[in-house]
Structure 1
């Protein structure tokens, strides 16, 4: 559930800033309208946001194939979420899985409400969570762009959703094991960003590098598309993080402002490093830094003050820059669109930052604990967050490796050498962009 749990200090914060969530469950028109908009914004992040962001950074011969991955993830995951994904994530209180009570959205009526979202229709809550599952699967595709079979990616979405995403989402947001430990993740540091980033890294090592990687020019086809995609992602993130408050209130506003400031700080920090080290700030660096800031603030966004967003975003821009350049080269993995360096690393930083900064925001509350209580709460929560990070990484590595190995043994993961040279647009889809 997207709510703060764990330390006494964190619980106090939740009680003082989200009082309406404690009221009797009743559908509120204002919250419902806000969440309808948020749902649309998060879907917009995948189509066309992520599709444009990704396709602008691959070579011309793979533009359509890259966009097709986002479209396929949207269609496949949405249907599977309706069939069983939502039920296994948010219906029931098992440690790792939910129940089958809501398969095919069974039992959801006009007045149904999920206890995790007490003021909006349950069907809207299910649709909102659907968009998170969609973009998480779509993100993984960027790591292996230019070389993964389209059929393999489609089957990856099917299997990975249930083997990796659903159990982890239930453990963190559905009242499962990690939630009971006190792990906090406002909008997806573990479930979305670490999950997608680590899965992308595993896929990079298992599928292998692109032909000519490190030797041939693999410059982006059209960065203008990537900039437009970044803008759509940036605005869509207001629904991603702001909507995770599950209501039109102060917490949503704080999340949106922290999110925006983190994106700005990330863009500036990344660009400044490029300017210092390479003499020029690139457009690719600006948008990469912004996305790093957005991904990193995600797990803490609703639990921190605006100035925390600036710090988190700046740190994200610096750390993710080095992971996408020096460290990536040293580890010798070909992550086509830096899914691990931006989302995986950013998710880890942000999840830990939630433990550092979340309870500090209590200092403005009338019934806030003293400095000693804040420090004690922060240290304890940071340890809990670290457990969440470690469990997420282990779960994702094992689950992703199993899914990819099963696909490799059956339909194969990678296109042939000739198909890769020709380009996936023609070899996988029979289409191409002409001059």
Structure 2
């Protein structure tokens, strides 16, 4: 890896790692004031635990050697603790770790205000091990998603540049499962739970957008693609900007039509939805198609977050409506508009087929495992706090501290 690629790889790793505190701010502002510490600690807990597990064995699990079962994962003990890794491969591994961390952290928004921290940490460690690490291997490390097109005899491969399936559909499906396991918050109804700190939400969204340039474009340096004639970094950067900007417009227009007022939280949520949708397709769309993707995703996700009130599942901070729905839209959209292979851009429909199989294969696996794991934890040590602790605010009960020291 030359110095330019190396420098950008290290910078991109730092950018993506910074995204998890961005998630903590974004989620922290959305909950009530007496739950903000608990909410942010779930993200920081994921940073600590998943970071350690990744170095010990997770990184090894994300690469499936030729000839090994494409539906499993790599050998976790092939280089335990990365003791024999080269300097360049350690940089690549560190970059991959940041993806694992934020994927786990994203799930926590669905169970805000009512989850035990210890139970969350147990779930996070096991889910990362048996879901995220294998799914990352399936998508990027030589697994069945990576080889899906070839295995079906098609001339296309699944396009998931930075994690539409591996990150967002994966986390969104697990979030839905946990929301169902933990049940509804006390007093669950539309309008009862309001964000306690809108500026914190906006700050979190801004940090996420900032870090997402490393998330989407970081692989160009990590895999030594910078400085070459076929580098996609310019396209990735403009699409990450454009789709996100367009999604803000799509979301707040729907809010204006539906509720009469565009909100700051809506603009922040629209930005995140746009970022989610462009993640798998950032290197595969012309900029105009990326703008259309952003508008569609912002509008659809603004409507999708309302489904929890109609269907009766309590996804506290709309992980399902933003990450699962946005991830599905972005992953399937490639099948229609990917340059050269999309159904409307020179392809035959084969791209859409492999995108669909990959998206829903990962969704079903993640949902089922997360549901069973969450149920096991709930039935043994308990996953949800007592109702009285939830009503009072769980920061003091779970962590012995408060987010704000208010004095006269």
TM-score in terms of structure 1 length: 0.86
Distance 1:403 1:166, change over 3 A: same
1:285 lines up with 2:275 in the alignment: no
**In structure 1, distance between residues paired with 2:374 and 2:42:** 16
Q: Deviations for 1:201-251, whole angstroms, at most 9, x for unmatched residues? A: 111111101101117731101010010111000010000011133343531
What is the SS of the residue equivalent to 1:229?
helix
Closer, same or farther: CA 303–373 of 1 in aligned 2, 3 Å:
closer
The alignment partner of 2:147 has SS state of helix
Q: 1:245-394 counterparts in 2 under 5 A?
A: 245=220, 246=222, 247-249=225-227, 250-325=231-306, 327-360=307-340, 374-376=346-348, 379-394=349-364
Contact 1:303 1:361 in 2 (8 A): no
2:8 to 34, 39, 43: 34
Q: Where has structure 1 moved over 6 Å in runs of 4 or more?
A: none
Q: What is the Cα deviation at residue 356 of structure 1?
A: 1.9
Shift of 1:355: 2.0
Partner of 2:83: 106
Specify the alignment match of 1:125 in structure 2: 92
Distance of 1:155 and 1:241 partners within structure 2: 29
Q: State how 1:148-163 maps to structure 2 within 5 Å.
A: 148-163=115-130
Matching of residue 81 in structure 1 with residue 54 in structure 2: yes
Determine if the alignment matches structure 1 residue 398 to structure 2 residue 376: no
Q: CA deviation at 1:405?
A: 1.9
What is the total number of aligned residue pairs between the two structures?
A: 387
What's the counterpart of residue 217 of structure 1?
Answer: 192
**In the aligned structure 2, how far is the partner of 1:412 from the partner of 1:354?**
41
Contact 2:337–2:345 (8 Å) recurs in 1: no
Distance 1:416 1:161 in 2: 27
2:154 aligned partner: none
Gaps of 5+ in 1: 1-26, 111-120, 363-370
Query: CA shift at 1:125, angstroms?
Result: 0.5
Aligned-pair distance for 1:389? 1.1
In the alignment, which residue of structure 1 is the partner of 2:147?
180
CA contact (8 A) 2:251 2:298 kept: yes
Tell me how far apart the structure 1 counterparts of residues 378 and 324 of structure 2 sit (CA, whole Å): 24
Q: Equivalents in 1 of 2:55, 2:283: separation in Å?
A: 27
8 Å contact 2:64–2:142 — kept in the other structure? Answer: no
* 1:279-322 residue CA offsets vs partner (Å, 9 max, x unmatched): 11111111111110000110001111211210111110111111
* Structure 2 equivalent of residue 193 of structure 1: 168
Q: d(CA) in 2 for partners of 1:248 and 1:220? A: 41
Distance 1:143 1:91 in 2: 31
For the residue of structure 1 that corresponds to 2:49, the secondary structure is helix
Q: Is the 2:190–2:309 Cα contact (8 Å) retained in structure 1?
A: no
Contact 1:91 1:101 in 2 (8 A): no
Q: Where does residue 398 of structure 2 map in the other structure?
A: 428
Counterpart CA distance in 2 for 1:266 and 1:233 is 14
Q: Could you say which residue in structure 1 is the equivalent of 2:152? A: none
Structure 2, gaps ≥5 residues long: 149-156
Q: Deviations over 1:252-290 (max 9, x none)?
A: 221111011111000001101111222111111111111
Instruction: Output the CA distance in 2 between the equivalents of 1:401 and 1:71.
Output: 23
CA contact (8 A) 1:169 1:191 kept: yes
Q: In the alignment, is residue 407 of structure 1 matched against residue 377 of structure 2?
A: yes
TM-score by length of 2: 0.92
Per-residue deviation at 1:167? 1.1
